Amino acid sequence: MNAQQPSAFGPLKIGPITLRNRFIKAATNEGMAKGGIVTKGLSQFHERVAEGGAAMSTVAYCATSPDGRTFTDQAIMDDASLPDFRALTDAVHKHGAAACAQITHAGSFTFLDKDTLKTSRPLSASGGFNKVGVVSGRFLKKRMNRAEMDVMADEFVAAAVRAKEAGFDAVELHMGHGYFLSQFISKLYNKRRDAYGGNIAKRMKFPSEVLGRVLDAVGKDIAVVVKFSMTDGPKGNQIDDGMAIARQLEADGAHMAVLSNGMNVDSITAMFGSSLPKAAAKPSNPLIGLAMKVQAMMEPKEVVFRENYLRDLSLQIRGATDMPLAYLGGVQSLDGVEQAMGDGFDAIAMGRALIFDPNFVNDLQAGSISQSGCSACNRCVTMMYTPGGTSCIESKFKPDPKLNTIGAST
């Protein structure tokens, strides 16, 4: 550790909040909002992470509106959910950690059926063929007009305000992985010829506008974090785009960026740094099972995991901006943590290491462990849509499916 390098176990200020250390539980779709209810199971999942030492736990996929869901079993940041979200944030705060709500909209990456979705076609930056529609049956998407963009921006603001009311300390705007805001940023999805399409500055214009409005609405009270994909895969955004995105987020005043990579449909192994498993858990919804099979067929085979697999890309982003950055991608050991801190990142975001063992941070700090037992097999990804929700098949921490049917506040 060099003299200037802060300790990963020391505090970090992001925007108006101070975290007790620099470890953040990355959003990992918990699959514990059955019927859209914020359940006791979801609350317990994040409470365990808080108890286990991380400074902030990110609740994945809180949809900005009913149409913003990918699947019906996802939570919506609406008034009805506030008491349950409040119970969840209370549980996290009890252990001295902060709670972050990942607020997002699916855009065209949705499997909602035609009776559920309000619009006849899912909305996106551009219209035309919808890749995910091959499985969902929604073959066409609709190019949004300015009035629809206004409604969407309003929904993001309203969701952030509700997150604050529910006791969240931060919101994470999802601008990556192929969800709605990244459908504007990505050259794979955005084919517009107006002020919101073309070069990366234009593709960032609408996401920047949403970020600015969210910052104005809640940025004095809670942290506003952005997660984005540094690259999209072979034909999409490349690292030059990623650097431009980071510079724009810094200019907009985002309090921190979480650096991810890849897109759900187009390049999922770029996100995980390892292959999807050949034998998957059986999801309750057969459509999801089919989507996973199709995806596994299309992705590169035998991608071999290496620790801190997004290091090279992330270092290029680090060189492009001075804003606080959370390193994400394959941190599995104290050495991996030290490397990311030595590289100049401000925080360490972890997904699978904390699914494997929510006590990982405490154990690292106590010196009782230096390496996670997670094998990066990605079988937890296939558990998301089972009745128990996201869990590690190898870990001793198992969710109780019964808790996934009752509201967190009941």
Ligand X SMILES: Cc1cc2nc3c(=O)[nH]c(=O)nc-3n(C[C@H](O)[C@H](O)[C@H](O)COP(=O)(O)O)c2cc1C
Residues annotated as catalytic (active site), given as ranges: 179
Taking CB atoms, the residue at the shortest distance from ligand X is 351
Q: Does 393 bind ligand SF4 (CB under 6 A)?
A: yes
Residues between 313 and 352 with contacts to ligand SF4, criterion CB under 6 A: 352
Q: What does 392 interact with, of ligand SF4, ligand X, none (CB < 5 to 8 A by kind)?
A: ligand SF4
* C-beta of residue 143 within 8 angstroms of C-beta of residue 127: yes
- DSSP code of residue 152: H
Cα dist from 330 to 159, 177, 306, 311, 351, whole Å: 30, 17, 7, 9, 8
Query: Which spans of this chain sit near ligand X (rule: CB under 6 A)?
Result: 26-29, 60-61, 102, 174, 177, 227, 260, 271-272, 328-331, 350-353, 380-381, 384, 390
**For the chain, what is the radius of gyration of the CA atoms?**
19
Q: What does 377 interact with, of ligand X, ligand SF4, none (CB < 5 to 8 A by kind)?
A: ligand SF4
Q: Does 356 bind ligand SF4 (CB under 6 A)?
A: yes
Q: Return all residues near 138 (Cβ < 8 A) that are at least 6 apart.
A: 108, 110, 114, 117, 121, 122, 130, 132
Q: What does 356 interact with, of ligand X, ligand SF4, none (CB < 5 to 8 A by kind)?
A: ligand SF4
CA 256 distance to own-chain centroid: 14
Q: Does 85 bind ligand SF4 (CB under 6 A)?
A: no
Q: What does 28 interact with, of ligand SF4, ligand X, none (CB < 5 to 8 A by kind)?
A: ligand X
Least Cβ distance, residue 333 to ligand X (angstroms): 12
Calpha distance 336→329 (Å, rounded): 10
| 46 vs 352, beta carbon nearer ligand SF4 | 352
Calpha distance 397→381 (Å, rounded): 16
Only segment of 85-93, 140-148, 310-318, 391-399 that touches ligand SF4 (CB under 6 A):
391-399
Q: Does 280 bind ligand SF4 (CB under 6 A)?
A: no
Residue 219 in tokens: 């940025």
Please state whether 148 falls in left (phi above 0), alpha (psi between -120 and 50) or beta: alpha
Q: Does 268 bind ligand SF4 (CB under 6 A)?
A: no
> CA 147, 150, 152 angle in degrees (round to 5)?
115
Strand ranges, E, within 265-354:
325-328, 347-350
| 53 vs 68, beta carbon nearer ligand SF4 | 53
Residue 23 in tokens: 């470890």
Calpha distance 202→121 (Å, rounded): 24
Q: Does 371 bind ligand SF4 (CB under 6 A)?
A: no
* C-beta of residue 193 within 8 angstroms of C-beta of residue 208: no
User: Residue 193: in which H helix or E strand, if any?
Assistant: none
Q: What does 126 interact with, of ligand SF4, ligand X, none (CB < 5 to 8 A by kind)?
A: none
Q: What does 385 interact with, of ligand X, ligand SF4, none (CB < 5 to 8 A by kind)?
A: none
Only segment of 4-12, 125-133, 262-270, 368-376 that touches ligand SF4 (CB under 6 A):
368-376
Q: Does 398 bind ligand SF4 (CB under 6 A)?
A: no
**Binding residues vs ligand SF4 (CB under 6 A):** 352, 355-356, 374-380, 392-395
